[in-house]
């Protein structure tokens, strides 16, 4: 019985979706998903960015720039290099330098729309 409970717990944990943050502006919507659920400093994390218009249609972003910074710290922001994986979909691997609260700032343009998004991500225990 204990093995069945353990197996069920592991399976349910594996099915849990990754955390996602969503923001939007005039003419666009963006979401950022990350794994593991709670990234840790000095360990790689996967970040997935999706950008679309108000109806959900994917937008191809030009001049995409993403930076991660800690508002409470004075060190320079860390650049995050995303690669396009599909229409309006981008993915990056990033290793955060410290535990704490990070702001992920996204900037770019898509079909005449300026995209400026800020996501908050907590790194560490």
Average of per-residue pLDDT across 104-118: 95
Partner residues linked to 34 by β-bridges: 47
- pLDDT for 10 equals 35
Give tens-digit pLDDT for 56-94. 999 999 999 999 999 999 989 999 999 999 999 999 999
For residue 9, give every residue at least 6 positions away whose Cβ sits within 8 Å of its Cβ, in sequence order, or none.
Answer: none
Of residues 46, 50, 117, 63, the one with CA closest to residue 90: 50
CA nearest 53: which of 33, 75, 29? 29
């Amino acid at each position: 019985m204990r093995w069945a409970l353990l197996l069920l717990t592991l399976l349910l944990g594996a099915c849990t979706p990754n955390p996602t943050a969503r923001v939007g502006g005039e003419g666009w919507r963006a979401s950022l998903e990350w794994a593991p659920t709670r990234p840790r400093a000095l360990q790689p994390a996967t970040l997935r960015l999706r950008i679309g218009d108000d109806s959900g249609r994917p937008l191809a972003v030009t001049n995409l720039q993403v930076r991660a910074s800690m508002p409470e710290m004075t060190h320079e922001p860390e650049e995050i290099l995303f690669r396009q994986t599909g229409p309006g979909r981008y993915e990056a691997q990033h290793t955060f330098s410290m535990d704490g609260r990070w702001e992920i700032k996204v900037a770019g343009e898509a079909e005449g729309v300026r995209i400026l998004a800020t996501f908050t991500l907590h790194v560490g225990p």
